[in-house]
Amino acid sequence: MSLRTSNFLVFFSFFPVWYFKFKIFHIDIVIFTAFITILYFLIFSLNFYIKKKGDFLYNFFIAGIILFGIDNHLSLHRELTNSVSFLAKYVGMYNASLFLLTAIFSIILILLTIGKDKVITIFTVTMLVLFSFSIIDNSKSIKNLKNFEENNLVKNKLPSVVVILDEMSGMNSYESQTDKGKIFNKKMIQMAKQKNLTIFENIYSVNKSTLISLGSLLNFKENILLNEFLKIENLFFENHSFTQNKLFDNFSNISVHQSVHINFCNHNNVKKCKAFNPFEKKKYIQGFRDTKLTHLINAWKYDGSILSLFTWRLLRQFNFIDVTISPNGEKASFPFFFDQITNDMKSKKFDLILAHTIVPHKPYGYDSNCNYDGKKSLGNFNNSLSLETHSSYYNTDRICTLKFINEFLDKINTQKINYKKIYFLSDHGSRILKNDPLNSLSVIYFIKEPNKKFDKIEKKSILQREFKKDFLN
């Protein structure tokens, strides 16, 4: 087998199509191109050196190259070993990923041992096909993120603002019965009094599912089926889209700030849609490792290969990188999220601004000073953290969420930005208490209305019912 053929195999296997699909910081493309060029040179040199050492060692080397290429272009983790996959449910995500890599590598090695040069030629052609498909496949392109704004919108609108916080437990939840939870409740009341909020102290959602909770909330209907107002979409950046939204029917110029996976922007009255983009430049809070390595590794991991998953996890473990991907990236840039809402309010183009953010949703991320601590995001979804630790971390994140909301309210007051009302609510509470699923129904709901004094509603109520009552009365 000629070195030219095996070098072609290396080129097609290692080419990082994802870097260009995700458009990671255009100004860094020269640096990244230089890095890739040096990497290719080193691998080509290693290929030349190992070929002289005999077939056994060379087969191992080529098998590793082919394995990398298959994983690189087929996104094996995203497609086969993700957290909800068949394999991961039984043996765990990382074990499933390691098992799959080992199995594929063993098969490739056996084929190389039996077929030698013919098998390398076949795999080179196969890798060319996979590489070509990756180049022309636009499903993973950042262009598919919902991101548009209509021009020439009439100004002088006085907006209503709805801020949906994902997985934020209410004041009667289990978490609020702990010592740190009582601090959260105290700070919640203090902020409500200082900012003259109407706060619902004992309020619950109709369902612990984000999709059902928000589907019922936005359509003013307490009991719905999962597919009544939503459609499932098997797309790279979204899994569900709202097909009906009666709240949006009441407005003409709507701005939406949404996370990935749930799309609110198909409604005709949405004039601006901004989806969370993990690859754009944004302001991160203190403590977050906003480095080129962080952004590069996260983009590679987002593409979905198993090898990127292990690299990403290892570098996080030793605190070399943080996570830009949702929900971690949303938590780390939470004040930036409010800056975007503030800019929409100042523009006076919109009569409704709806924003959904995966905060304070796990994984955890804030320290006691509300700086970012990436180490806290490790071990959130297995049994490595005790119930007490989960509750403590979660309450810290809830307290910091209040802090950033408070700063947002201060900013719009200082800048004298006008609005009708600002609604803060959560879709469901924490799911920390596994043996009490009803605890996840406890939510937060408070409203900021100009010229209205502090009001605390103590009676037990339903979020969807109170929201409907306020909007339709």
pLDDT digits (tens, 9 = 90+) for 132-175: 999 998 888 888 889 999 998 989 889 999 999 999 999 999 99
Evaluate whether the domain defined by 147-278+326-472 bears CATH number 3.40.720.10: yes
Question: pLDDT-derived band of residue 339, with 50, 70 and 90 as boundaries?
Answer: very high
Question: pLDDT-derived band of residue 125, with 50, 70 and 90 as boundaries?
Answer: very high
Helix (H) or strand (E) holding 330: helix 328-332
Q: Which two tokens stand for residue 134?
A: 């990756």
Alpha-carbon span 93 to 87, nearest angstrom: 7
Q: Which two tokens stand for residue 361?
A: 């949703």
By C-alpha distance, which of 329, 399, 392, 322 is closest to 357? 329
**DSSP state, 89?**
H
Alpha-carbon span 470 to 425, nearest angstrom: 13
Domain boundaries, the chain: 3-137, 147-278+326-472
> Are residues 165 and 425 in contact, defined by beta-carbon separation less than 8 angstroms?
yes
Q: Which two tokens stand for residue 281?
A: 């430049």
Q: What pLDDT does 51 receive?
A: 80
> Are residues 267 and 242 in contact, defined by beta-carbon separation less than 8 angstroms?
yes
> Are residues 297 and 318 in contact, defined by beta-carbon separation less than 8 angstroms?
no
Mean pLDDT of 111-115: 92
Question: pLDDT-derived band of residue 2, with 50, 70 and 90 as boundaries?
Answer: low
* 79-109: pLDDT as tens digits: 999 888 888 888 889 999 999 999 999 999 9
* 361-384: pLDDT as tens digits: 999 999 999 999 999 999 888 777
Which tops the pLDDT comparison, 29 or 209? Answer: 209
Residue type, 169: S
| Close Cβ partners of 153 (under 8 Å, ≥ 6 residues apart) | 253, 271, 349, 350
The three-point CA angle 142-10-82 to 5° equals 45
* 34-81: pLDDT as tens digits: 888 888 889 888 888 888 777 788 899 999 999 999 999 999 999 999
Q: What pLDDT does 273 receive?
A: 97
Give, to the nearest 10 degrees, the angle between helix 463-472 and helix 210-218: 20
145-160 in b/e burial notation, b at 16+ Cβ within 10 A? bbeeeeeebeeebebb
Alpha-carbon span 16 to 456, nearest angstrom: 55
* 208-250: pLDDT as tens digits: 999 999 999 999 999 888 889 999 887 787 789 999 999 999 9
Alpha-carbon span 442 to 74, nearest angstrom: 41
Alpha-carbon span 288 to 212, nearest angstrom: 33
Alpha-carbon span 114 to 433, nearest angstrom: 54
